[in-house]
Amino acid sequence: MRFALVFNPFKYKVHEENLRIVQKYFGMFPPLSLAWVAAIARQAGHEVIIIDARTLNLTKEGVLDRLKSFKPDIMGFMMTTYMFPETLEWIRYLKKGLDIPIVVGGYNLRVYPEESISHPEIDYGVIEQALDTIPQLFSALEGKGRLEDVDGLVYKDKGLIKINPTKLVDFDKYPNPARDLLPNELYAEFPTERKNFTVMITSLGCPYHCTFCEAGRTVYNPRRPMTVVNEMEECYNKYGIREIDIFDYDFTVDKDRTIAICHEIRKRNLDILWACRSRVDIDKEMLKEMKEAGCGRIYYGIESGSQEMLDRVKKGIRLDQIRETIRATKKLGIRALGFFLIGSPGETKKTVKKTVRFAKELKLDYVQFSKCLAKPLTPLWKEMVHNMGKDYWKDWILGKETDRPLPRHWTKLTNEEIDHMARWAYVSYHSQPYFLLKAVLKVRSFTEFKRKFSAFLDMVFSQEDISIKDPKFIAYHEEAKKLDFYIKGHT
Ligand code: B12
């Protein structure tokens, strides 16, 4: 089969957790899920392309032209709940131009498999992982099997939607993501220090159960240390990658695995700067090992400066632990970033101020203040469904709902106040003389200075007080000139 995977661009949403300016400067990331799917399909003997229309800034027409020259038998798209409508719009357009089957996958399929493929343009959905499902589906489409025997498939049969049971897969058995199909030199994120840059996932799931997070209590499924470092080495040798952001929900969950990865990176002498996400109840010995293996940044889930708020979202950490870990991280020379939540259960203006004061006290290198959102499958979502008397996200997938701010029954703060406080938190944090001075002193290049300074100005002057739609929204292209070369001169 000839399989074309398309990553479509997406707009800013009023209901999303980040402010518009944060989303704008977030970065340009490889469509990793599609790269996994591509590698799986290729391993089963199929020919695959990925068109990263978002990063290459391609129009629907431009993508259709590329697809026509590849002549695919089937097309695939990754679907998140939040960006579902515009992915569907792209599917509609491209299906009209090519008239071939469409298969979708991604997190949203786990939540709303039936609703996702209820749209007439979509033929098949992969509910969980593609590892077994895609090879089995393609065999069935080639007449070598039956759709009802394909694990974890959602499909249509004589007007009825049918769902086949899923099986747990071993993440270690995956081939490495097909980064050879991606424009690796174009990716970057806000704090990037080296090029080429990529993201990695070394484990699935998270054993903790914070009430605001979609990953809570999902099966922890790690890749073995050797597999992880083999992928890193491939990135280094094949794609010239020198910086990696590990996007695992919690990279440091398993101390032995983390330390084994660090030892292996050092053994192979891989000069890679890497970042990861972690809880603050991290082992200090392990921190040292991480630093020695090239860890340059750790993104900690701190959430709040109020112990009561931390307890209410079942975070299971203490303020003194946070202080101690941030101190230890900075002492080792690792940059520390804090993720904070604004508008979580019981939040008041007073607790937001406490959180911002706490963030300042920690002297973090980066901060992210997100608005607490009722994400599908979370306890907060269950509360929202109960209070609204309907499931907003289900209706959103069915095309019956609009992009609008969602109620937060768990706090007395209004949505307007939460927007306002989130913006204030950014401006207040980044206006500290200490922070400004440090930011200027630590800047390594003019590009980095420009990126950080314009993000600051945008947050002060362009970020609206109350989130509004932005039809002209485009994410920041730091490498605009290179991009131009890529589109015109690269095949
Ligand atoms: C890397 C990443 C990104 C990257 C790249 C996008 C991507 N997914 O490749 C960037 C930064 C661009 C990104 C953007 C966004 N992301 Co994101 N992202 C991730 C992350 C951290 C890792 C993805 C990954 O590689 N996982 C490992 C692989 C093995 O698992 P997988 O992704 O589920 O893919 C498997 C199956 O789902 C399936 N599959 C997936 N896609 C497809 C497509 C086809 C055709 C088929 C057949 C199968 C298939 O097969 C894959 C292999 O088995 C996940 C969290 C996570 N840990 O998974 C969030 C996650 C997918 N993202 C999420 C969100 C919310 C977003 C954004 C909306 C954030 C924002 N506001 O901008 C955007 C939307 C992007 C879009 N177009 O819709 C949510 C989705 C939640 C939901 N309810 O839908 C997740 C689950 C994080 C979370 N818990 O909140 N993301």
pLDDT in tens, 242-261: 999 999 999 999 999 999 99
pLDDT in tens, 98-114: 999 999 999 999 999 99
379: pLDDT strictly greater than 80: yes
Q: Choose the CATH number for 194-363 among 3.30.420.10, 3.30.1360.20, 2.60.40.150, 3.20.20.70.
A: 3.20.20.70
pTM given for the model: 0.95
Report the distance separating Cα 342 and Cα 463, nearest Å. 17
pLDDT in tens, 128-140: 999 999 999 999 9
Closest by CA position to 169, among listed 145, 146, 155, 152 = 152
Pairing status of strand 335-342 against strand 295-303: parallel
300: pLDDT strictly greater than 70: yes
Q: How far is the CA of 221 from the centre of ligand 1 (A)?
A: 16
Residue 477: pLDDT band (50, 70, 90) is low
* Mean pLDDT to the nearest integer, 287-311: 97
Report the distance separating Cα 149 and Cα 397, nearest Å. 27
Which residue's alpha carbon is nearest to atom 84 within ligand 1? 80
Phi/psi region, residue 158 (left: phi>0; alpha: psi -120 to 50; beta: rest), is left
Which residue's alpha carbon is nearest to atom 28 within ligand 1? 33
487: pLDDT strictly greater than 60: no
Quick one: what percent of the chain has pLDDT higher than 70? 97
CB 116 within 8 A of CB 108: yes
To which residue do tokens 């944060």 refer? 22
Q: What is the mean pLDDT of the chain?
A: 93
pLDDT in tens, 193-233: 899 999 999 999 999 999 999 998 899 999 999 999 999 99
Residue 483: pLDDT band (50, 70, 90) is low
CATH homologous superfamily for 2-15+30-163? Cobalamin-binding domain (3.40.50.280)
- For residue 79, the ligand 1 atom closest to its alpha carbon is 78
Long-range contacts of 297-300 (CB under 8 A, 24+ apart): 297/191, 297/334, 297/335, 297/336, 297/337, 297/365, 297/366, 298/329, 298/334, 298/335, 298/336, 298/337, 299/275, 299/337, 299/338, 299/339, 299/366, 300/325, 300/326, 300/329, 300/336, 300/337, 300/338, 300/339
Residue 364: pLDDT band (50, 70, 90) is very high
Q: How far is the CA of 438 from the centre of ligand 1 (A)?
A: 34
Which residue's alpha carbon is nearest to atom 62 within ligand 1? 80
- For residue 13, the ligand 1 atom closest to its alpha carbon is 71
482: pLDDT strictly greater than 60: no
Q: What residue ranges do the domains of the chain occupy?
A: 2-15+30-163, 194-363
3-state secondary structure of 212: coil
Report the distance separating Cα 177 and Cα 50, nearest Å. 12
3-state secondary structure of 369: strand
Protein residues whose CB sits closer than 6 Å to any atom of ligand 1? 5, 10, 16, 23, 29, 31-34, 36-37, 76-78, 80-83, 103-108, 111, 126, 129-131, 134, 199, 201, 214-215, 247, 249, 376
* Mean pLDDT to the nearest integer, 67-79: 98
